[in-house]
Structure 1
């Protein structure tokens, strides 16, 4: 398998695009689950703790009542690559956020490599791809050790470009477009800084239980603010799904392909604000909810809106709330394992795309980080109605471990 990872102005693109495979060699062999070592198994819980915190703080940032869709895993890949260039307190802050101080960088690197190798092999009918790349301004000096470790653990392809040439922007945007199968075609307006770090993830899964397009109808959706309006509402009935219910919400898990991946819908009960569910969305609760839904299935009359959603956001404020600060401060940042020059992160953005249709789901994400160098500076038979006609949450995850890939809040269907 081969993945691209390039680090230059620090772009991290995440789109569930797995490591590229050499098509001429061994056939696809499905894994029954993530093959994690005893030391790596706790990293799934740590990763989900990160995802839930990232999701909560992004929701706080989006104070207006609007949709957002993020990839916590993309952000983690991005931070993992950046961490390999950091030292001192800068590294300590990143390690703390990535691993809650329970694992050091070597373990984090090994875990990400295992994800890149294993996740694409879980389901031959579902596409999961991850690619990494580092783009370096041809006049900037980036240490060989930093490049080598990112090649080894993030399967990075590293390339030098003349950032002053407008064509460099086109090259990077084209790379992103290819890795996301055209879903994210532009992450840069202009190539700036000295290092661009890109991680892309791409996911495409078909429902085990597809929706019949003939059953899709125009039905009302009730946003938390504003008037009800018609949306394309998909429908299927008399199908059994993993189900869980609390005082605040009802939750159903819709599997893809061979069941290795799934989308879980979390629908607040009538009168419950969606943010009330986000507040209690922790890694511990997520694990408990999934465990409960594994033991209880319910025969549902399911209505789910078809969705096409594009989103982008500045995620530096989110990382700051999570505890990373020095990396963004030109007077404090320590990236001495990346370069001998003073360096800091000037920008991190994430771009995502979500498409939910009768046949399945496509999800893509791109996290962009700019790094600047400076010289001196129980079952029921009757179908139970689960009609997703109001604001709701969604999570795309690996099914056996619950590893979160994407998360979203849908306040309205536009």
Structure 2
């Protein structure tokens, strides 16, 4: 899905990260024969904010992982993503509905460092709340889940698992992305029919497929090893133009090879694919809806990002009162949802990162229940 061609280097880095992440998830999920949907942009923005609170080798590893040379570039890219996706102050009739929000829940024992708080608010438009993880961890889980549910129009129902936060939690950062758009040329539901769909593991399943009248023309392109179908969304009064791109491998089991090919071609998704209006005698698109969730920290480690999950150099985010002990990433929760039908697309994604303090401050107490002077 895209809204306009991008040519700047930071945007190339962003899409390269998207492809590496997609490839890693596909490698993990392909043996299961299951569908998956994820939002690399949601994870990229979250990791960029984490980079703003890091230093030393941890920062350098994050920059390398995200394909950037500076925190400043990451902040600018994230700000651009958020401002592009964010809905206008007034809904523009006929256009897609979009939103991208960020939030932070900080334990009341600590304070955000002024420089990080400024970045979180100015570039990421994050809403920051003080909470009590010691006494009200369960309530904070419910609060974050309600926030994500409302930000995704109810599509992400439980971002944080039960009991995922406790007294050792210092900070939670989260974001939520939502999209709903109607096709510029909608499909006729009466023409939808069951057809065979070929899974990567060789199995064949029945699925509902949408189609259009044979005389309709579609934006189509044929390339070496794959085909591209571009389906625009209605824009109405919205100046932004959004389309969904389907990349179909020529071979039924060609998806892993296609992903590997685009991984090796830096900036693949940023090129302008030449699609022309053509009549397609055979056009069948599966109608589907599904959700996917995973704890992303192990995936990040498999891709080479390890230092943020260790205590040491994430010291530019929170003032813990313990010198330079700082905090570190404990868990990364990610949930996504997509539905494609005859009318259009509805999709959502949300990411939450839990941080632990390297040295939690013990709660002061004075209980004189033994001999004293």
TM-score range, shorter chain: 0.7 to 0.9
Q: Alpha-carbon deviation of 1:150?
A: 0.4
The one of 221, 244, 250 aligned to 2:227: 250
The match for 1:402 is none
| Corresponding position of 2:325 | 341
Kept in 2, the 8 Å contact 1:86–1:338? The answer is no
* Aligned with 2:343 (options 342, 359, 368): 359
Alignment match, 2:266: 284
For the residues of structure 2 that align with 1:58 and 1:224, how far apart are their CA atoms? 14
In the alignment, the residues of structure 1 paired with residue 247 and residue 145 of structure 2 have an alpha-carbon distance, to the nearest angstrom, of 34
- Equivalent position to 1:205, from 181, 189, 202: 181
Query: Structure 1 residue 318: deviation in Å?
Result: 2.9
For 2:345 and 2:130, locate their aligned partners in 1 and report how far apart those are by CA, in whole Å: 35
Aligned length in residues:
338
Aligned partner of 1:373 in structure 2 is 357
State the structure with bigger RCO (CA 8 A, min sep 6), 1 or 2. Answer: 1
Deviations 1:110-149 (A, max 9, x none): 2221222233469941112100000012223432332222
Counting only pairs closer than 5 Å after superposition, residues 68-83 of structure 1 correspond to structure 2 as 68-83=36-51
Q: TM-score, normalised by structure 1?
A: 0.75
Q: CA deviation at 1:365?
A: 0.6
* 1:371–1:55 CA distance, 2 compared to 1 (3 A): same
CA distance in 1, matches of 2:77, 2:201: 42
Return 128-137 or 111-120, whichever deviates more.
111-120
For structure 1, the residue ranges without an aligned partner over 5 or more in a row are 1-15, 17-31, 378-414
4+ long deviations beyond 6 Å: none
Q: Provide the rounded CA distance (Å) in 1 between the counterparts of 2:187 and 2:14.
A: 32
Contact 2:16 2:267 in 1 (8 A): no
Q: Secondary structure at the match of 1:199?
A: strand
In the alignment, does 2:20 pair up with 1:50?
no
For the pair 1:119 / 2:100, whether they are aligned, the reply is no
Alignment of 1:83-98 (within 5 A): 83-98=51-66
Unaligned 5+ segments in structure 2 are 362-373
**Larger-Rg structure:** 2
Q: Tell me by how many angstroms 1:45 deviates.
A: 1.3
Displacement, 1:323? 3.4
> 1:120–1:239: structure 2 CA closer, same or farther, 3 Å change rule?
farther
| Cα deviations by residue, 1:352-377 (Å, 9 ceiling, x for unpaired) | 00111100001111112111102189
1:44-193 equivalences in 2 (<5 Å): 44-64=11-31, 65-98=33-66, 100-101=67-68, 103-120=69-86, 124=92, 125-163=95-133, 164-165=135-136, 166-188=138-160, 189-190=162-163, 191-192=165-166, 193=169
The match for 1:25 is none
